[in-house]
Amino acid sequence: MDWIEQTVSRKAEMLGDLKGLLAIKSIHDAETAGPGQPMGAGIAEALHYMLSLCRAEGFRICNHDGYVGYAEYGPEDAEHYIAVLSHLDVVPVSGDWVTPPFEPDIRDGRIYARGAIDDKGPAMASYYALKIVKDLGLPLKHRIRLIFGTDEERTHQCMEHYKKLEPMPACGFTPDAEFPIVCAEKGQINTRILFPSGPEQPQMAGEFELVTFHAGVVANMVPEAAEAVVAGDKDRLMALELAYQAYCSDIGLRGSVSHGDQNIKLQLAGKAAHGMEPQLGVNAGLKLIHFLKDYAWNGGAGHYLNTVDTLLYEDVYGHALGIAMEDVISGPLTVNSGLLQYEPQGETFFHINLRFPICGNYDEILDTIQATISAYSLEIEPPSLKKPHHVPEDHPMIRALQDAYTAETGQKAELFSTGGGTYAAHFKMGVAFGPLFPGMESTAHQPNEYMEVELLLRSAAIYARAIHELGNLML
């Protein structure tokens, strides 16, 4: 079977359907949330769009209260089903885009839009993979179920809802990482480290007042922008501005200064990256704090700036927090501080999005963090936790996916791990499988996100072959 020929012959149709999906602004929206659309109107529209495509194709569909939906094909009386899990929600938009993020544009062999690679393009590739298997009338021993989630970028409520209502699959994969096969995922800890607020803040006298400080828009992204509003004597503010301009020049980042009646606003542009790989980004918040910490501040600002700088600056592996660790299977622990805020009359905190290897234990990690930050009079907010996940290499699904990948690419299908948190970890025998090939750039969560059209077609071909093999797996 020439699987790539099958996908290429459907290229125009596939791109048309994908454009329709990418045009939907499926960002979590609490203001439009309600019965049947718990994540908001946009995400509900995206789920309806995909399920409508699947219904028209003749797949059996189900929508569980707007949290999650699925489409199924294969013998209805089959005991087992194989899951292919993708998500339709996307992260918020930030940064400068060449074309509007929800007006998909194809140029230079790429389709640009928010969600193109994470995860709407792969979701559409999976849908067409199953469609190809159906169109060809290929026999299946097991049911194949395409599961469409709606809250992957936040709390995975969708999958928790699904697990309450549905039996678990025999095995499955999510097209939301990289090829060849991600058989291990790091655990995660997401929490805020809270500073004393209001009159409980340490009170110091200094030359400047930090009116506010903000960096980041979501916890699982490296902040690409930060701003600080600073008040003080006019001459001292002028000197601060000149020093800031020199600092920006020295570190090679773009900074700007705007003037108010009694203050100035310092803004800094860093480089966004996924929270699972903070070493690939430039945290604008931490860079701006590193500049500000050397000045004398009124109130509790000095405590905030120096503490954050000590615990986080240029330390994505958790050495200062005392939690650095790594193992052979899943690599090193990483720490991303995606949200930083100083508000003298409100909340002052930094958020940590922490990914730890299989060898780690989150209770021990939290205990160590608490011991470290207690010296700074800080507290940990109750965290959200995710256990590490690992599928043994001798599982028959692993072999089937390796065979499918090697047959379609001619390359050896190595096993590796990720710091990302995918849907695979919700099922005992779940892995991540594509869509990016080794060495390819990932623009997930970044401005001008894209998926190469050739990658869309090639991944659909691999998924079609894999679905056929998994659908007939000896379990």
Burial class (CB in 10 A: 0-12, 13-18, 19+), 325: middle
Give the residue numbers marked as catalytic: 89, 152
* Confidence at residue 145, expressed as pLDDT on a 0 to 100 scale: 98
Q: Which two tokens stand for residue 116?
A: 């193109």
At residue 421, the pLDDT reads 76
Instruction: Give yes or no for a contact between 390 and 358, defined as CB atoms under 8 angstroms apart.
Output: yes
Flag whether pLDDT at 228 surpasses 70.
yes
pLDDT number for residue 199: 60
Q: What integer pLDDT is reported at residue 206 of this predicted model?
A: 79
Q: Would you identify the CATH topology of the domain 188-386?
A: Alpha-Beta Plaits (3.30.70)
- Domains of the chain, by residue range, sit at 3-184+389-470, 188-386
Question: Model pTM?
Answer: 0.75
Number of H helices and E strands in the chain, helices first, is 11, 26
CATH topology of 3-184+389-470 equal to that of 188-386? Answer: no
Q: pLDDT-based confidence at 459, cuts 50/70/90?
A: very high
Q: Is 183 left (phi over 0), alpha (psi -120 to 50) or beta?
A: alpha
- Out of 146-150, 272-276, 430-434, which region has the weakest mean confidence (pLDDT)? 272-276
User: Band of the pLDDT at 202, cuts 50, 70, 90?
Assistant: low
Output Rg (C-alpha) for the chain, integer angstroms.
Answer: 24
Using the CB atoms, write b or e for 93-108: b if 16+ within 10 Å. Answer: ebeebeeebbebbeee
Query: pLDDT by residue (tens digit) across 314-367?
Result: 999 999 999 999 998 889 999 999 999 999 988 999 999 999 999 999 999 999
Query: Which phi and psi angles does 337 have, rounded to 5°?
Result: -105, 95
Distance of alpha carbon 176 from alpha carbon 168, whole angstroms: 20
Whether the predicted pLDDT of 223 surpasses 90? yes
Q: How far apart are CA 241 and CA 228, in angstroms?
A: 12
How long, in residues, is the chain? 475
CATH number belonging to the domain at 3-184+389-470, selected among 3.30.1330.10, 3.40.630.10, 1.10.10.10, 1.10.3720.10 = 3.40.630.10
Q: Which of 320, 325, 323 lies closest to 306, judged by CA? A: 320
Question: What pLDDT digit, counting tens, does each position of 110-160 carry?
Answer: 999 999 999 999 999 999 999 999 999 999 999 999 999 999 998 899 999
Cα 57 to chain centroid, rounded: 30
Q: pLDDT per residue over 234-270, tens digit each?
A: 999 999 999 999 999 999 999 999 998 889 999 999 9
Two tokens, residue 475? 């379990």
pLDDT confidence of residue 261: 81
At residue 328, the pLDDT reads 87
